[in-house]
Amino acid sequence: MQPWRDLIVIVLFLCPVLVVGIEGEVQTAANDAAKSSATAASADQRARFTGTYRYAGSAQEEEARSKAIDHAVEGLSFITRSTARSRVSATTQILGSYSFSFESGKICVRPQSRPEMISGDKGEPADYVYNGKRSTLTQVFEGDQITQVFVSDDGRRENEFTLSKDGQVLTLKVALSSARLSNPVVYSLSYKRADYRQSGSYPVVPAKREISFALASRQGRSRQVLVLPVCSNLSLRTN
């Protein structure tokens, strides 16, 4: 009877251990699957963001930027207001384009007429120098948004780049603050993808049209066909 009792005790002792072990393996597998899914989603988000976007803002956006600058300097004295406005206008100049690419663990942003901005994608600080002025740059990529923060002795600037669901429109929200300004400068600008990418990852091939015209020569007339993309502009002059 004693052996059976010992066997029952051993079984009762091992069952919880086995259950805990199985649950641990299941949890580990679930964690691995979640990490793999997150990695795939992150790679897909980077692929969607990659490309060049050109400024496509409206007159209303430019007017809103101008008013934001006026609001930022309105509390300054008459003597310093004009100089401060000129400096803020130069700092917040509307750039013609932004290009985005990604390396292993890094975000690379190439603004038109500015040095390349490269740093880690989890907020690791990096030095950034433009026009002789040094600042500390951090960048974070979450979902459909890249957030840049520049900190210098003059103040702080935050750029929020948000990509639309179809991947065609990029909205840049700028927030500039400084102890020398009476109010922060906050405004938004619109950019559109420049590589004609649709919701997938393939460029759009422009449709084509045919233009036919006749060429005269001593031997007679011959009909020529010229195939052009729809977006092409052709000017033909006849004398």
Domain carrying residue 109: 50-193
pLDDT on residue 220: 53
Q: Both 170 and 70 in a single domain? A: yes
pLDDT on residue 25: 54
Q: Both 32 and 62 in a single domain? A: no
The yes-or-no verdict on residue 236 having pLDDT over 60 is no
Is 208 part of any domain? no
Element (H, E) at 92: none
Is 4 part of any domain? yes
Q: Both 33 and 71 in a single domain? A: no
Residue that the structure tokens 């795939």 belong to: 40
3-state secondary structure of 13: helix
- Read off the pTM: 0.67
Longest dimension (CA), the chain: 121
Is 217 part of any domain? no
Q: Both 84 and 44 in a single domain? A: no
CATH number at residue 88: 2.40.128.20
Q: Both 80 and 138 in a single domain? A: yes
How many Cβ atoms sit within 10 Å of the Cβ of residue 232?
12
**pLDDT tens digits, one per residue of 114-172:** 999 999 999 999 999 999 999 999 999 998 999 999 999 989 999 999 999 999 999 99
The yes-or-no verdict on residue 57 having pLDDT over 90 is yes
Q: Both 98 and 171 in a single domain? A: yes
C-beta of residue 14 within 8 angstroms of C-beta of residue 21: no
